[in-house]
Amino acid sequence: METEATAENSGVLDETGLGAEVRSAVGRLYRRFRSELPAGELGDTALEVLTYLHKRGPRTLTELSEAGRVAPASMSQTLNRLTSAGYAIRTPDPNDRRKVLFRTTTEGATLARATRSQRNAWLDAQLAALSPEDQRTVARACELLGAIADS
Amino acid sequence: METEATAENSGVLDETGLGAEVRSAVGRLYRRFRSELPAGELGDTALEVLTYLHKRGPRTLTELSEAGRVAPASMSQTLNRLTSAGYAIRTPDPNDRRKVLFRTTTEGATLARATRSQRNAWLDAQLAALSPEDQRTVARACELLGAIADS
DNA sequence: TATTGTTATACTCTATAACTATA
DNA sequence: TATAGTTATAGAGTATAACAATA
């Protein structure tokens, strides 16, 4: 037996079930995160882009759309929301005038830092209640799944 | 002025990082799943509701909205999509005529079974490439995170 | 009055198609 | 022609507010 069954999801962990388990858990967590989101705040998509710009530095629209695996037109609109809100700005690329470099504003950088801890308060509390071993398990799974998401 | 930040935050178990790591990994996986979705197919939300009805049996709108942690009005619209597509039907509750019991149709049950394996083909392939130990780690993390999502 | 469910409306996020500007 | 980016429009999924029907 590879894994013990989760009592309530009864038939779920069968031979082919791991993908379904991951997908279900991810979907439920994602929706849970979204349900905690106060109205008027940046959505997770926009915040993820802002955080990416903050951590990696200026990027073009094409780079951002490829990193986020969305169509360029989709990323353009997400960036419209960020720039309209004053969290990012467009700057011309001096070497290629077709390109636009997006970068965070001071407000955007502040928000990226602040929101990172604030928005995760609930989740951090839940995770803190796990045993150290379980925390390591979750951390390791995040590495593995993050790599899969980017593969 | 470059990112004084961790270029690759996979050290993970720092003082505040686990919640952020989980959130980031979940968000990137969720968006990756969504990007794999062929046009014209049921979205993950609708499919999750359909699967829930298929596994648990008939449920009222209130029960479904609480299970999915969405507003009743939101669930009503998701159910409108499922019923319009012929995958679920409304049936009156004989004991309380305010209530509506939603149940899968034959087509809905078939779809719930078929899509489950088909849609996870890509993810299953990625997971199959992991070592057995890593697979157990992911499975265990899904249990832990699933419980948090439902807490 | 309280509960159950619905419709109306708006916002985020996504897509495709059609467009402009630059290389 | 090819590439980078934008706008127009549509659909899924979410929310709140206002409503009807039943308890």
Q: Give chain A positions within 8 Å (CB) of B119.
A: 23
For B139-150, write each residue's pLDDT tens digit: 999 999 999 988
Residue A63 lies in a domain: yes
Q: Is the pLDDT of residue A128 over 70?
A: yes
Best residue in A142, A144, A151 for a mutation probing chain B (most B CBs within 10 Å): A142
Domain coverage including residue B36: 30-150
Which residues in chain A (55-74) have CB-CB distances under 8 A to chain B? 55-57, 68-70
Residue A6 lies in a domain: no
Give the integer Cα–Cα distance in Å for B48 and B34: 13
Q: Which of B3, B22, B32 sits opposite A57 (nearest CB)?
A: B3
Give the integer Cα–Cα distance in Å for B112 and B119: 10
CATH number at residue B111: 1.10.10.10
Residue A17 lies in a domain: no
Instruction: Enumerate the H helices of chain A as residue ranges.
Output: 18-35, 44-56, 61-67, 72-84, 106-118, 121-128, 132-149
For A28-47, write each residue's pLDDT tens digit: 899 888 877 777 789 989 99
Q: Which of B27, B123, B136 sits opposite A23 (nearest CB)?
A: B123
Q: Is the pLDDT of residue A127 over 70?
A: yes
Residue B12 lies in a domain: no
Helices A18-35 + B44-56 axis angle, to 10: 110
DSSP assignment letter at A99? -
Residue B7 lies in a domain: no
Q: Domain tally for chain A?
A: 1
Average pLDDT of the segment spanning A127-151? 94
Give the integer Cα–Cα distance in Å for A150 and B54: 32
Residue B93 lies in a domain: yes
Q: Which bases along strand C come within 7 Å of a protein CB atom?
A: 3-9, 12-18, 21-23
Average pLDDT of the segment spanning B117-121? 80
Contact B101, B59 (CB under 8 A): yes
Give the integer Cα–Cα distance in Å for B84 and B36: 24
For B24-74, write each residue's pLDDT tens digit: 899 889 988 887 777 778 998 999 999 999 999 999 999 999 999 999 999
User: CB contacts < 8 Å between A and B, how many?
Assistant: 184
Residue A100 lies in a domain: yes
Q: Is the pLDDT of residue A12 over 70?
A: no
Q: Please state the pTM of the whole predicted model.
A: 0.82
Residue B56 lies in a domain: yes
Does A16 or A135 have the greater pLDDT score?
A135
For B77-112, write each residue's pLDDT tens digit: 999 999 999 999 999 999 999 999 999 999 999 999
For A55-114, write each residue's pLDDT tens digit: 999 999 999 999 999 999 999 999 999 999 999 999 999 999 999 999 999 999 999 988
